[in-house]
């Protein structure tokens, strides 16, 4: 079984490489055998990016029958995501914001909506992350026994991984579009503002067609958090512009979440002005520096039962899938390029690397 | 006359109606409904698996849950098409629904299973008309349930939405195996179809509309993956009614007269219609 030399990396636990290099990472070392931890083995095997299904001895059952490992169903490491971007028209969305701002809830709702039908003009065409989506949504189902929806905190381990869903336009005959959803932990977000190196390690942002900055509407209602949350949103975008991770190739979204909490505040209260002001600042400071700017107010999991959610989430999803500054695609680079962020951006999508 | 072997895969989660259909088709081949219907021309040498539960099936008793590691020969039906004289041997392995659920949970399958996919003539995918496709979201009014005595249980993959599990089982087949042909023919078999006619049931009575409304994720997946799966959607009643109805009055009728199958808006008793399409006979 393999583990990682780096103390921070959880590869030995769940097969997720902190640097997003999967099983090709040079930091991997062989650790002591631990055949009891089948899940760990499975994840490690499954994250190696190989197309070929792997064969392992089935020690759980008879000890005789051979089994083959299938796709793991969780978030894709960069190396697996690269496979997706290389095989089809793929759209990558990076989503970032403070802890508990509602990022994962929003992404999880996409999966829920497809379970009810098509989302706008897009039909579900497959997903390599179905298990993860179901896990994320579990605590927002009646069957879980919860009395109100809740969501697990997203670990930093997912910073360089992507949830996957493939869609197809209702018109038919068009190839599938692979959507990769990169959910950056709320723990990382302020650190990326504090430290350039942390920001630069957010590798998916370089390939992102869309960067969605999420601001917690509930925090905007709270005088003690409002100013910090608003400033951090601006700082985060500035940081990414400064490093060249985003730019004219990126479509920027400002998403104010938990609209139910915002709406509950009196209309003339300072929080509405603050939200309005933040939206204006995004327009003023960034609209000319990025490939497009969208502003949204959503409630992905409102506690107020009356607020509709489907229409706005449909429009957001459709905008993600249907707009990009990166297509028509340049000719793909040869597949022998090196691993890492450049390799991931195989369509020459890093700023200044155009054909 | 040539006799070909046909291997079908019957896919479905536990309790989807798979075993009931195998028994019903077996009985129907022995009691063909019309002069043109596919019929049995002889009994396969080993019918031990089918005969074991036959009496229970015919009397309308609840069938035992199919075990995971079934030993012994696969149910085999010998059929003939009276109009062409063409004969064939149909192999219908009765795979336990738990096998497919295990694939979803454990993210692996037996190599022997994946080898068997290379010989497939088609797939019969079962789901129950009277069971929900998805877990219920805590949205709208449900977002604030009374707090009393409700504590969230940890996530158990077996409790994930049924249509999500089924889609992944199909993705496993599409992505991890070398199928004999593309697209592979697949019949969606909406079992317990008799329940959609229950008084007050507002569900669509046309199977394709039913699937689109009640199992949308699966429906979309099949529509957008026509290169992998060519599908037809049937409503099937292999038992003819619920266990209660069978006990009350339906059990008086012989099994082959209780059955019903619906394709589009056409209703018949010929449960072999999906097989004809899959096998091209
Ligand atoms: N009132 C309200 N609460 C919401 C809404 N959307 C999400 N929440 C709740 O906000 C909490 C945090 O949501 P998450 O989706 O986990 O937030 P996150 O941004 O992913 O947080 P981290 O993973 O910690 O970075 C959860 O308990 C959600 O149920 C909303 O629209 N309204
Ligand atoms: N109303 C009605 N119910 C049916 C019909 N067919 C199956 N059922 C119900 O579905 C249950 C399960 O049927 P089985 O055929 O045993 O299901 P299975 O897919 O073989 O299940 P496993 O062996 O557990 O994988 C039965 O006990 C019935 O309650 C039908 O035609 N009508
Ligand atoms: Mg999160
Ligand atoms: Mg059975």
Q: What are phi and psi of A350, to 5 degrees?
A: -70, 140
Contacts of A62 (CB under 8 A, 6+ apart): none
The torsion defined by the Cα of A86, A5, A68 and A160, in degrees rounded to 10, comes to -30
Identify the residue whose tokens are 């490093």.
Answer: A243
pLDDT value of residue A189: 98
Instruction: Please spell the DSSP secondary structure of A136-187, one letter per residue.
Output: HHHTTBGGGT-SS---PPPPGGGTTEEEEEEEEETT-SSPPEEEEEEE--TT
Per-residue pLDDT band at B77 (split at 50, 70, 90): very high
Q: Do B155 and A114 touch (CB under 8 A)?
A: no
The torsion defined by the Cα of A314, A315, A321 and A322, in degrees rounded to 10, comes to 140
CB atoms within 10 A of CB B156: 12
CB atoms within 10 A of CB B87: 16
A82 pLDDT higher than 80? yes
Q: How far apart are the first and last CA of chain B?
A: 14
Q: Do A126 and B225 touch (CB under 8 A)?
A: yes
Q: Are strands B108-110 and B87-91 parallel, antiparallel or unpaired?
A: unpaired
A17 pLDDT higher than 80? no
> Is residue A352 less than 8 Å (CB to CB) from chain B?
no
pLDDT value of residue A12: 63
Domains along chain A with CATH numbers = 2-62 (no CATH), 78-322 (3.40.50.300)
Each residue's pLDDT tens digit, A217-250 = 999 999 999 999 999 999 999 999 999 999 999 9
10 Å CB burial of residue B83 (0-12, 13-18, 19+) is exposed
CB atoms within 10 A of CB A23: 18
- Closest by CA to A234, choosing from A283, A184, A267, is A283
Question: Which position has the higher pLDDT, A35 or B108?
Answer: B108
Give yes or no for a cis peptide into B183 (omega within 30° of 0): yes
Closest chain B residue to A260, measured at CA: B140
User: What is the average pLDDT value for chain B, to the nearest integer?
Assistant: 93
Contacts of B198 (CB under 8 A, 6+ apart): none
Cβ-contact A145, A195 below 8 angstroms: no
pLDDT value of residue A56: 65
CA of B219: how far to CAs of A166, A344, B211, in Å?
Answer: 14, 33, 6
Residue pairs between chains A and B whose CB atoms are closer than 8 Å: 168
- Closest by CA to A252, choosing from A209, A215, A298, is A209
Q: Are strands B3-12 and B120-128 parallel, antiparallel or unpaired?
A: parallel
Instruction: Please spell the DSSP secondary structure of A37-90, one letter per residue.
Output: -HHHHHHHHHTT--SSPPEEE-TTTTSSSEEEE----SPEEHHHHHHHHHHSEE
Average pLDDT over residues A54-66: 58
> Is residue A115 less than 8 Å (CB to CB) from chain B?
yes
Cβ-contact B116, B3 below 8 angstroms: no
- Does the CB atom of residue B131 touch ligand 2 within 6 A? no
Half-sphere exposure for A174 (CA within 13 Å, toward CB): 15
Where is average pLDDT lowest: A11-15, A66-70, A111-115, A278-282?
A: A11-15
pLDDT value of residue B270: 94
Token pair listed for A60: 């759980």
Q: Do A115 and B147 touch (CB under 8 A)?
A: no
Give yes or no for a cis peptide into B102 (omega within 30° of 0): no
Per-residue pLDDT band at A14 (split at 50, 70, 90): low
User: Cα–Cα distance between B176 and B120 in angstroms, integer?
Assistant: 15
Secondary structure string (H, E, C) spanning A254-304: EEEECHHHHHHCCCCCHHHHHHHHHHHHHHHHHCCCCCEEEEEECCCCCCC
CB atoms within 10 A of CB A281: 16
Residue A129 per-residue DSSP state: -
Residues of A with CB below 8 A from B150's CB?
145-147
Long-range contacts of B34-38 (CB under 8 A, 24+ apart): B34/B270, B35/B82, B36/B82, B36/B83, B37/B82, B37/B270, B37/B272, B38/B79, B38/B80, B38/B81, B38/B82, B38/B272, B38/B275, B38/B276, B38/B281
Q: Do B137 and A126 touch (CB under 8 A)?
A: no
pLDDT value of residue A303: 85
Average pLDDT over residues B126-144: 87
User: Cα–Cα distance between B25 and A51 in angstroms, integer?
Assistant: 39
pLDDT value of residue A1: 55
A23 pLDDT higher than 80? no
Token pair listed for A351: 């700023």
Average pLDDT over residues B52-62: 92
User: Cα–Cα distance between A258 and A270 in angstroms, integer?
Assistant: 17
Per-residue pLDDT band at A257 (split at 50, 70, 90): very high
A126 pLDDT higher than 50? yes
Residue of B99, B116, B137, B227 to mutate, interface with A, max A Cβ within 10 Å: B137
Per-residue pLDDT band at A51 (split at 50, 70, 90): very low
Residues of A with CB below 8 A from B146's CB?
147
pTM: 0.88
Q: Do B135 and A68 touch (CB under 8 A)?
A: no
Q: What are phi and psi of A196, to 5 degrees?
A: -55, -40
Q: Are strands A177-183 and A89-97 parallel, antiparallel or unpaired?
A: parallel
Sign of the C-alpha dihedral computed for residues B38, B43, B44 and B50 taken in this order? positive
The total number of residues written for chain A in this structure: 355
**B125 CA to centre of ligand 3 in angstroms:** 35
Cβ-contact A281, A234 below 8 angstroms: yes
pLDDT value of residue A332: 34
Minimal CA separation from B148 to chain A, in Å: 8
Residues of A with CB below 8 A from B108's CB?
42, 56, 58, 67-70
**Which member of A58, A71, A147 has the closest CB to residue B145?**
A147
Residue of A73, A116, A165, A312 to mutate, interface with B, max B Cβ within 10 Å: A73
Domains along chain B with CATH numbers = 6-279 (3.40.50.300)
Per-residue pLDDT band at A147 (split at 50, 70, 90): confident
Please tell me whether residue A94 adopts helix, strand or coil conformation: strand
A50 pLDDT higher than 50? no
Per-residue pLDDT band at A9 (split at 50, 70, 90): low
Question: Considering just the CA atoms, what is the radius of gyration of chain A in Å?
Answer: 21
> Is residue A310 less than 8 Å (CB to CB) from chain B?
no
Each residue's pLDDT tens digit, B196-231 = 999 999 999 999 999 999 999 999 999 999 999 999
Each residue's pLDDT tens digit, A302-352 = 987 778 899 999 999 999 999 999 875 333 344 343 333 333 333 333 333
Q: What are phi and psi of B215, to 5 degrees?
A: -130, 60
- Does the CB atom of residue A186 touch ligand 1 within 6 A? yes
Percent of chain A residues topping a pLDDT of 90:
66
Please tell me whether residue B127 adopts helix, strand or coil conformation: strand
Each residue's pLDDT tens digit, A167-201 = 999 987 789 999 999 999 999 999 999 999 999 99
Neighbours of ion ligand 4 (CB under 5 A): B 19, 66
Residues of B with CB below 8 A from A42's CB?
106-108
């Amino acid at each position: 079984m393999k583990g990682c030399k780096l103390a921070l990396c959880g590869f030995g636990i769940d097969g997720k490489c902190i640097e997003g290099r999967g099983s090709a990472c040079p930091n991997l070392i062989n650790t002591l055998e631990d055949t009891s931890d089948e899940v760990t083995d499975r994840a490690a095997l499954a994250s190696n990016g190989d197309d070929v299904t792997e064969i392992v001895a089935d020690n759980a059952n008879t000890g005789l029958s051979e089994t083959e490992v299938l796709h793991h169903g969780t978030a894709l490491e960069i190396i697996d995501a690269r496979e997706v971007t290389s095989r089809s028209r793929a759209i990558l969305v990076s989503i970032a914001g403070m802890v508990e701002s509602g990022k994962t809830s929003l992404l999880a709702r996409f999966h829920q909506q497809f379970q009810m039908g098509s989302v706008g003009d897009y039909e579900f065409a497959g997903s390599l992350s179905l298990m993860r989506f179901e896990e994320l949504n579990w605590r927002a189902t009646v069957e879980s026994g919860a009395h109100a929806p809740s969501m697990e905190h997203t670990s930093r381990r997912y910073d360089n991984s992507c949830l996957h869903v493939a869609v197809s336009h209702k018109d038919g005959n068009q190839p599938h579009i692979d959507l990769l959803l990169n959910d950056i932990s709320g723990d990382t977000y302020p650190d990326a503002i504090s430290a350039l190196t942390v920001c630069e390690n957010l590798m998916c942002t370089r390939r992102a067609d869309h960067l969605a900055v999420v601001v917690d509407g509930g925090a905007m209602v709270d005088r003690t958090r409002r100013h910090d949350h608003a400033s951090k949103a601006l700082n985060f975008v500035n940081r990414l512009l400064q490093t060249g991770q985003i730019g004219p190739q990126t479509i920027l979204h400002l998403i104010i979440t938990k609209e139910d909490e915002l709406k509950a505040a009196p209309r003339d209260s300072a929080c509405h002005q603050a939200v309005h002001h933040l939206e204006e600042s995004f327009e003023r400071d960034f609209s000319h520096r990025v490939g497009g700017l969208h502003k949204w107010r959503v409630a992905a999991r409102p506690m107020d039962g009356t607020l509709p959610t489907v229409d706005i989430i449909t429009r957001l999803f459709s905008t993600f899938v249907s707009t990009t500054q990166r297509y028509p695609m340049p000719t793909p680079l040869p597949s022998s390029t090196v691993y890492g962020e450049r390799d991931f951006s195989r369509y020459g999508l890093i700023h200044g690397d155009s054909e | 006359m040539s006799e070909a072997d046909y291997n079908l895969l019957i896919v479905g989660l536990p309790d989807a109606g798979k075993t009931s259909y195998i028994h019903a088709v077996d009985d129907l081949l022995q009691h063909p409904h019309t002069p043109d219907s596919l019929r049995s021309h002889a009994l396969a040498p080993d019918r031990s698996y089918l005969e074991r539960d036959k009496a229970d099936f015919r009397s309308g008793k609840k069938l035992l849950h199919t075990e995971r590691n079934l030993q012994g020969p696969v149910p085999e039906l010998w059929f003939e098409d009276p109009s062409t004289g063409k004969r064939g041997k149909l192999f219908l392995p009765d795979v336990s629904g738990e096998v497919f659920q295990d694939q979803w949970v454990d993210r692996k399958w037996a190599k022997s299973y994946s080898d068997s996919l290379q010989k497939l003539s088609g797939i019969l995918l079962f789901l129950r008309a009277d069971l929900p496709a998805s877990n219920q979201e805590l949205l709208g009014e449900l977002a604030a349930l009374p707090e009393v005595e409700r504590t969230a249980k940890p996530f158990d993959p077996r409790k994930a939405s049924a249509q999500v599990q089924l889609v992944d089982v199909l993705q496993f087949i599409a992505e991890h195996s070398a199928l004999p042909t593309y697209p592979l023919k697949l019949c969606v078999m909406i079992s317990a179809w008799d329940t959609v006619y229950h008084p007050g049931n507002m569900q669509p009575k046309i199977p394709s509309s039913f699937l689109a409304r009640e199992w949308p994720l699966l429906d979309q997946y099949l529509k957008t993956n026509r290169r992998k799966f060519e599908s037809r959607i049937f409503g099937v009643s292999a038992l003819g009614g619920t266990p209660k109805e069978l006990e009350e009055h339906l059990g008086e009728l012989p099994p082959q007269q209780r059955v019903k199958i619906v394709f589009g808006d056409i209703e018949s008793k010929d449960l072999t219609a999906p097989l004809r399409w899959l096998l091209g006979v």
